[in-house]
Structures are given as structure tokens and as C-alpha cells.
Amino acid sequence: MALPTKQEVQDLVKELTEAANSYDDSASLAGHLSRTGIIAKAKDLQRALISPDQTPAYHGLNMAELIAARTFIKIGVLDAIPETGIISLQDLSKATGAQESLLERDARILVATGFLLQPSATTLAYAHSKFSLVYRAGSPAGYFFLALYDQYLKHAYNFDDYLEAHGQLAAAREPDDPLHNPCTWNANQDGVSVWQIMAQNPEKLDQFQKGLAGIDVAVPPVGHFDFALLKNSEEENAAGIKELVDVGGGHGVVLSKILAAHPELSPKNAVLQERKDICDLAAEHLPEGAVAMEHDFTKAQPVKGAKGYFFRMIMHDYSDSVASEILKQIVRAMNSQSRVLVCDMILPQKVGEADFAAAVMDHAVMTMGGKERTEEGFRKIFDAAGLELVKVWRAPGVPGGVVEGRLRAN
């Protein structure tokens, strides 16, 4: 049925009211889940009331909002609107140098979606909403939006053309090559890594890195796996065994957080592995005693028999076949006491209001040949590398967690 009956609408309203009765405005997990539940019920009601023939209009509104928001960020409109109070269209034009009619047309879309406010229906003057405020310059949420728009949407909007250009319309395949994917294809640089392409524009690379910082809360470095399990015995310390190797660990911020949260681990038993240029910058973040080691994780792992090999937000950049090959380098260095610890988003079998952000990230990394995975997806790449998935460690209320693997018994 295209539209619900009156009784069905009343039932949906009742469900929404019941969810609203449990509203919790706290910053706790319970508060987050209560609000998520209300939003889910509100969307159920909205979807029921929208007729199928309205679908293109709503999709068009979503498209227009993204374009208008990105434009307003780039030409400085959001910074020109005062944090409190309103600004007229004329004054906004003077402040930005942008044509009044262009501003009016973009603002019309953003007001329609609630991203911007237009307090008077008869006056062209605008104010920030709580949503537009967080997209002002320097905001983590703003950087995250720019990362999604510039490094995902601009490479994904013509995905159908990418498939056609690669002769895949009749048998479409997910991109699985880090050197040949929608990102490299759109940049006309097939054969060059996405990271090398990003580095060609330092400003956008900086925006992207700042944007990724915005998802730290979704994939926390601690709060899931019990890193105390990696603590060495006196005999293991005497043998020089490393407790934790942070593979592809960036500037060392994550490793430092783990060591701070688990003082039972010794910094002298911790190793950060990264490219040389990044290792040189890691010293300011690493605690005394920790080692920064130059290493390419697609090559043989030089630290043998470590208690834990930790990958945070690494595997999601790569396809199943590439991820398995990376893990094989670790398997060859492991012993029976070693663990592989992959810290990434873990997709549910069915995505809902509470975890749709993980599906968005999966679609985003697809443009560079990567993927987010379900538990079964991790089991697949572990099995191909000779590992047994022994446990999935979850942090409450977030899509991120740690997938633990051990050497598979022969």
C-alpha cells in the first residue's frame, strides 16, 4: 500500500510517543540510545507518510543540500553568519563577495532542510542552526564533512560511469585494488596510491586527516580489548619479547593512549611501526622507552614473537585479498602466544539508526578499494591468512571494536 491507513498512522504515533517517554538528554550511553530510538520511530512515521512518487524530490533535496553546504563552506558564508543573531542577504553578500541571487538560491535549500534558519518568511535574513554552527572553520564536524564530500562523494557520484568504463555493467564488482579504483580513476592517476594522490594537495590532505580525527569516538583505541593480557612475565621480559606492536600506528597518539590506559604494559616493550617520515614525527607523542621503527606493513614483519600486533583503522583501507596478504606478514612472525588485534568498525548484518555511520564509512572506503567488515568478513580474511578468529571485543555504544586472531591450529 502506498500510504498508511489512519489506524497505522496512529499506531506509529503511539510508538513514537512511547519512545519519547524514555527520552534522556544525558551524554551517557543510555541517553544516546534513548535519542536514537526516538529518531528511529520518527523516521518510521515520516517514511510511512511519504508517497513513493515523492522519492525523487527527496533524493534531489539531499543532493542539493550537500552541494549548497559545501559551497557555503568554501566561499566563507558560514563564517560570515554571526554565531548569534541574524544577517541580511545584502550584508551576507557584502561580507563574502558572493552574488545575492546565488546566496539566496543556496540558502533556500539549506533553510528547507533545517540546516540554516530564516526567522522571517517575508525577510531574506539568515541565522545559524545548531547544525550549521558545527560546520564553521576549524570545527571537527566540519572537517569530517569535508573529508566525506571531497574524498568520498566526489569519487563516488559517478560510480556507474566507473563500472561502465571498466566493462562491469553486466557483472559489477567492488573495487579491490589500492592502485586502480574510483579515486585513482577520477584523478586520472591509475597506478598511483590514493595517499600519494592526496599528498599532491597538502591543504586537502590536512582537511582529510583532521576529518578522520572526528571518528575517533566511533573506533576508540581503548575500552574494548583488555591490553593487560599482553603483559610480559619476568621471563618474557628477560627474553626481550615485545608486548605490543602498533602496526601503521601514525604519529603514536593511539599507542600513547593505550599505554596510558594500561600502565601494566611497559613502554620499552612497545613498538610503533610507520613510514620513515612519520616515525620522525612520532617522538613527541611516544612515552620514553617506546620505539618508533620504520616499516612497510606489506613486507615481512621484523618483530618476531610479539604478544600483540595491533592494527587500528588499517584493514578497512584494503580489499579482502590485500588485507589477507598484510596479515600473512604477521602470521610468519607470530608464535603460539601472539595475538593479532584488528581495531576497526564492525558492521552488523542489518544496519539501523544506531549504526548507519559504519555503513557510510564502508561506502566511503570502497572508492579507494577498501571495505568495512562484518564479523564474518573479518573471519574470512583471518582464515585466508592462517588465523583463527577467537573473539570480538566491543566497546558499548559504538560501531568500533577489536577482532582478535590467533594462529590457527594445524
Q: Which residues are catalytic?
A: 316
Q: Is 227 exposed, middle or buried (0-12, 13-18, 19+ CB in 10 A)?
A: buried
Q: Which of 183, 168, 197 is nearest to 368 (CA)?
A: 183
Distance between CA atoms of residues 154 and 147, nearest Å: 10
Distance between CA atoms of residues 281 and 200, nearest Å: 20
Residue 180 is given by DSSP the state B
Cβ 192 vs Cβ 181: under 8 Å: no
HEC letters along 17-61: HHHHCCCCCCCCHHHHHHHHHHHHHHHHHHHHHCCHHHHHHHHHH
164 three-class SS: helix
Q: Rg of the Cα trace of the chain?
A: 24
Adjacent-strand bridge partners of 116: 128
Q: Which of 185, 141, 129, 182 is nearest to 159 (CA)?
A: 182
Taking CA atoms, 122 is separated from 82, 84, 88, in Å, by 20, 20, 12
409 three-class SS: coil
Distance between CA atoms of residues 363 and 368, nearest Å: 10
Neighbouring C-beta atoms of residue 342, cutoff 10 Å: 28
Residues ≥6 apart with Cβ < 8 Å to 143: 207, 210, 211, 213, 214
Distance between CA atoms of residues 181 and 193, nearest Å: 10
Distance between CA atoms of residues 199 and 19, nearest Å: 47
Residues 9/10/16/17 CA torsion (nearest 10 deg):
160
